[in-house]
Amino acid sequence: MLRVEHITTGYGKKQVLTDVSFSVEKGDVILLSGGNGSGKSTVLKIIYGLLKPWADVREGKIIFEGKEITALQVSKMIQQGIAYMPQKKNVFEDFTVEENLSVSAGIYPKAEAKERAENVFEILPKLKTMRKRTPFHLSGGEKQLLAFGNVLIHSPKLVLLDEPFAGVDAENSEVFSNCIADLKMKNVTFIIIEHKKQLLGRIVTKELELELGEIKNEKN
Ligand SMILES: Nc1ncnc2c1ncn2[C@@H]1O[C@H](COP(=O)(O)OP(=O)(O)O)[C@@H](O)[C@H]1O
Ligand SMILES: [Mg+2]
């Protein structure tokens, strides 16, 4: 469903990724691993269009469900069914859990937004129990679940998660990974950066290891 082809990119003059290519099938849970600074976050950013491939060497592109999506705007990515949860998690601090979801669903007509929020509560019932609380009154793990809810509101087909378990306690990590496993069963596809592999365990279908901005290892 996703093909990343010959991506070379970086920041300013600093080259970070070199000729990165890989493909992802529907229902895959890809674990993206590698040392600090190896370019993992950059891979997710380029898929989501936050960076452009460098074209000087060879033209890199990203194809999603047969369409080229290289460097599309975020709103277009969401329309295509791609969602991204950055390393610094996005929650709206001044709003309750419930309000967070309605703000995230603000791009949809009102009735649909409500339906989408209800759907998120069904996928993550724990969020519903905290719906009147603001992030100030949530633990790190609970905040992360909310950030995930803000992503799931768009019913994505492909979800990009950058270290989703960082700062999450054992109990919420389990809620989180069970939720990922359930969504995988429904054919949702994930690319996840995570150092603690055991948190994802058996649901990982493929591991991609980056070293100095190149794919070093691909394990099925
Ligand atoms: N916004 C940025 N501006 C300049 N350099 C950056 C930026 N973000 C990341 N880098 C650099 O790019 C390299 C890869 O970063 P990153 O993709 O975040 O690695 P990882 O997620 O594997 O730790 C690092 O050397 C990092 O310092
Ligand atoms: Mg990173």
Q: What is the pLDDT of residues 93-127, one digit of tens each?
A: 999 999 999 999 999 999 999 999 999 999 999 99
Task: Mark out the alpha helices in 1-132 (DSSP H runs).
Answer: 40-47, 74-80, 97-104, 110-123, 125-129
The response to whether residue 39 sits with its C-beta less than 6 Å from ligand 1 reads yes
Q: Which range marks the domain in which residue 110 is found?
A: 2-219
* b (16+ CB within 10 A) / e for 36-60: eebbbbbbbbbbbbebebbeeeeeb
The response to whether residue 11 sits with its C-beta less than 6 Å from ligand 1 reads yes
The response to whether residue 41 sits with its C-beta less than 6 Å from ligand 1 reads yes
Question: Number of folded domains in the chain?
Answer: 1
How confident is the prediction for the chain on average, in pLDDT? 95
213 has pLDDT over 90: yes
pLDDT tens readout for residues 169-209: 999 999 999 999 999 999 999 999 999 888 898 899 999 99
Q: What percent of the chain has pLDDT over 90?
A: 90
What pLDDT is stored for residue 105 in this prediction?
A: 96
Taking the CB of residue 209, how many other CB atoms lie within 10 A of it? 17
Q: Which one of 11, 45, 192 would you pick to mutate in the ligand 1 pocket, going by the greatest count of ligand atoms within 8 A of its CB? A: 11
For range 27-43, the mean pLDDT: 97
Q: What is the CATH number of the domain that holds 160?
A: 3.40.50.300
57 has pLDDT over 70: no
- How far apart are alpha carbons 170 and 19 in whole angstroms? 37
* Cα torsion through 104, 110, 113, 115, rounded to 10: 160
Q: How far is the CA of 149 from the centre of ligand 2 (A)?
A: 21
- How far apart are alpha carbons 161 and 151 in whole angstroms? 10
Backbone angles phi, psi at 115, to 5 degrees: -60, -40
Residue 219, both tokens:
């394990």
Backbone angles phi, psi at 136, to 5 degrees: -55, -35
Q: How far is the CA of 129 from the centre of ligand 2 (A)?
A: 31
47 has pLDDT over 80: yes
Residue 89 pLDDT level (bands cut at 50, 70, 90): confident
Residues bordering ligand 2, an ion, CB closer than 5 Å: 40-41
Q: Which one of 42, 88, 191 would you pick to mutate in the ligand 1 pocket, going by the greatest count of ligand atoms within 8 A of its CB? A: 42
Q: If you take atom 18 of ligand 1, which residue's CA is the nearest one?
A: 41
Q: What's at 67, amino acid-wise? A: K
Which-ligand-closest: CA of 42?
A: 1
> pTM for this one?
0.95
